[in-house]
Amino acid sequence: MRYLILSDIHANIEALEAVLAAAPREQFDRVVVLGDIVGYGADPNAVVERVRSLNPDAIIRGNHDKVAAGVESAEGFNQAARHAALWTLTSLTEENKDYLTSLPLGPLVVEDEIEICHGSPDDEDEYIFEHVDAVEALRAQAEPVCFFGHTHVAVVYWLSAAAFDIILPSPNDAETHLQIQTDRRYLINPGSIGQPRDGDPRAAYATYDSEAHELVLYRVPYNVAGAQEKITSAGLPEGLARRLGLGK
Residue 3 pLDDT > 90: yes
CATH number of the CATH domain containing 54: 3.60.21.10
- Per-residue pLDDT, 112: 87
pLDDT (0 to 100) of residue 116: 98
| Domain span including residue 151 | 2-246
- The predicted structure's pLDDT at residue 92: 98
pLDDT band at 20 (very low <50, low <70, confident <90, very high): very high
Q: Residue 140: pLDDT above 90?
A: yes
- Give the model's confidence band at 75: pLDDT under 50 very low, under 70 low, under 90 confident, else very high: confident
Does 46 have pLDDT greater than 90? yes
Confidence check: pLDDT of 32 > 90: yes
Mean pLDDT of 140-146: 96
pLDDT in tens, 200-245: 999 999 999 999 999 999 999 999 999 999 999 999 999 999 999 9
Q: Comparing 59-63, 102-106, 168-172, 202-206, which segment has the lowest mean pLDDT?
A: 168-172
| pLDDT for 172 beyond 90 | no
Question: Which pLDDT does position 114 carry in this prediction?
Answer: 97
Whole-model pTM: value is 0.96
CB atoms within 10 A of CB 107: 25
Counting the structural domains of the chain, the total is 1
d(CA 223, CA 15): 7
pLDDT at residue 113 in the model: 94
pLDDT given for residue 74 in this prediction: 87
Q: Which residues contact 32 (CB under 8 A, 6 or more apart)?
A: 3, 4, 5, 6, 56, 57, 58, 59, 110, 116, 147
What pLDDT was estimated at residue 76?
Answer: 86
The pLDDT of residue 213: 97
Sheet of strand 155-159, all strands in order from the earlier edge strand to the far edge: 108-111, 114-116, 145-147, 185-189, 155-159, 164-167
Q: How far apart are CA 57 and CA 148, in angstroms?
A: 16
